[in-house]
Amino acid sequence: MSLASVREPARDVPVVDKADVLVVGGGPAGMAAALAAARNGASTILLERYNHLGGLASGGMVLVLDDMWDSHHGEISVRGVCLDLIERLHALGLAQFPRQHEWGVSPAAVNRWTRWGAFDFHTQDKPHPIVFAAAFDPDGWKRVALEMVAERGVNLRLHSWFSHAIVEGSRVKGVVCDTKSGRQAILGDVVIDATGDLDVAVSAGAPHIGGAYMLTTVFRLGNVDCDAAERFERDQPAEFARLDKEVKRLIGGSWAHWWLRTPLPGVVWCNCPHMTGLDGLKVEDLTRAEVLGRHHIHQSVDYIRQHMPGFERCVVIDIAPQTGVRQTRMLDGVYVITKEDLMQRVRFPDAVARGRDYTTPYRAILPKGLDNLLVAGRHYSATSSAQKMSREIPPCMAMGEAAGVAAALALDARVAVRDVDVKRLQATLRAQGADPGDQSGPNADVPAIAARVAQKEAA
């Protein structure tokens, strides 16, 4: 042993499980990947380091599902698993979203839905148009996610922290994870990296690039009179603007709306404080984000309680157990998506997922030089500037769904994942309710969620 390093002794690690498809990371993309692989006949293992599924959606409490609206065609662009999840949450009273007749800029819709976060924040128009987006409850997501993976027969292994990839030649054979029972090896014929930080692919030697963006410590407040707060904002705009500016200064960084409604009465979501100059891969920076974030939260809440109408009795009910990390490592894959691709709304011939006004090609989830590894989530193959525009949860779920189907199709055809028949992949996704994004123009063949929910409510 030296001061510089400690040598670990070689040791045998027991193989505790094996499946056709191994998904590492139970966030939105990984959950969708596991569900899709199992639905298409593959035995599937889903590994997750925390005690819940949902990643930054539930554990990070990013409580609005957005970037699933095509502003050019005026339609929902992310469907499949994501819409299934929203419908199930809505049935429990744990998700809210504007109906189709409310999309647009009618004063009634703008007044009702803006504080739910269901607006197109990318446009410069004021007021921002109301679009399809869903506000949800984080524990509702955890509940429904567990139900969905159980129904599909996914072998779920929580409390399993990824350590390193098991690689033979150009093939990723599985992973080793750390658990309370010691180190364990899990094997898979196809492995899907849904870690968010590209942990598996980097460990296996895949080319990648680095990136950074702000970190956020998200929190929720209870005992809020939301109606009174909104009345104050509408009736006293000058005084509201003065107080709102001071709150944002104390928080230390937030979006335009530092609070939004949630499906729980009197509970609001605060997607802040934002902290820049920190690296989501460094223990020291992650620790600083937690400490500094809580400092900003508590000093701002003290001010809010004293000065902001509607918040007089507010209390902090929870702070997200997962730090809001937006960008770290990204795949340098077979194709690297650029900002120009997104701005020009490129419809790739091998598109397998849609986002707001953009598509993701299959090549962007394929690592170079590895035969049986797919990547799904915010660490997909893109430049840093492109990723900042296309990393939201619904398109990541669409990407995961495509990866899960692709893995099952590769196994069925006995080919490497890079040799999957993309046309068959696109057709399978569409047949199962997803939208791969390969077709231009509106997709009227898939009914809008509002219509489906209305039919269920009428029944």
β 171-179/219-222 pair status: unpaired
Centroid of chain to Cα 285 = 22
Domains annotated on the chain, with CATH: 17-97+132-213+328-458 (3.50.50.60), 98-128 (no CATH), 215-325 (3.30.70)
Exposed, middle or buried, 437 (CB in 10 Å: 0-12/13-18/19+)? buried
Q: Which two tokens stand for residue 390?
A: 């296309």
- Residue partners of 297: CB distance under 8 A and separation at least 6: 217, 219, 251, 270, 273, 316, 319
DSSP structure string for 196-265: SS-HHHHHHT--EEE----EE--EEEES--HHHHHHHHHH-HHHHHHHHHHHHHHHT---S-S-EE-SST
At residue 8 the predicted structure's pLDDT band, cuts being 50, 70 and 90, is confident
Mean pLDDT of 299-310: 97
Mean pLDDT of 225-236: 97
| Pair 176, 63: CB distance under 8 Å | no
Q: What digits encode the pLDDT tens for the residues 27-75?
A: 999 999 999 999 999 999 999 999 999 999 999 999 999 999 988 888 8
DSSP structure string for 298-349: HHHHHHHHHHSTT-TT-EEEEE-SS-EE--SEEE--SS-B-HHHHHTT---T
Exposed, middle or buried, 290 (CB in 10 Å: 0-12/13-18/19+)? middle
> Residue 394: pLDDT above 70?
yes
At residue 446 the predicted structure's pLDDT band, cuts being 50, 70 and 90, is very low
> Residue 327: pLDDT above 80?
yes
| Pair 177, 47: CB distance under 8 Å | yes
Q: Which percentage of the chain shows pLDDT scores above 70? A: 95
**Nearest to 46, CA basis, from 70, 23, 65:** 23
pLDDT confidence of residue 101: 87
Mean pLDDT of 130-139: 97
Q: How many helices (H) and strands (E) does the chain have?
A: 14, 23
Q: Which two tokens stand for residue 454?
A: 């209305």
Mean pLDDT of 418-431: 97
Mean pLDDT of 426-438: 95
pLDDT confidence of residue 367: 98
At residue 234 the predicted structure's pLDDT band, cuts being 50, 70 and 90, is very high
Please state, rounded to an integer, the average pLDDT across all residues of the chain: 94
pLDDT confidence of residue 321: 95
Mean pLDDT of 236-257: 95
> Residue 276: pLDDT above 80?
yes
Mean pLDDT of 236-251: 96
Q: What digits encode the pLDDT tens for the residues 160-214?
A: 999 999 999 999 999 999 999 999 999 999 999 999 999 999 999 999 999 889 9
pLDDT confidence of residue 440: 67
Half-sphere exposure (Cβ direction) of 121: Cα atoms closer than 13 Å: 16
Our CA angle for 159, 406, 382, nearest 5°, is 80
> Residue 7: pLDDT above 70?
yes
| Pair 127, 256: CB distance under 8 Å | no
Q: What is the pTM of this model?
A: 0.95
Mean pLDDT of 113-118: 96
Rounded distance between C-alpha atoms, residue 437 and residue 445, angstroms: 13
State the residue for tokens 């001061």. Answer: 3
Rounded distance between C-alpha atoms, residue 174 and residue 177, angstroms: 10
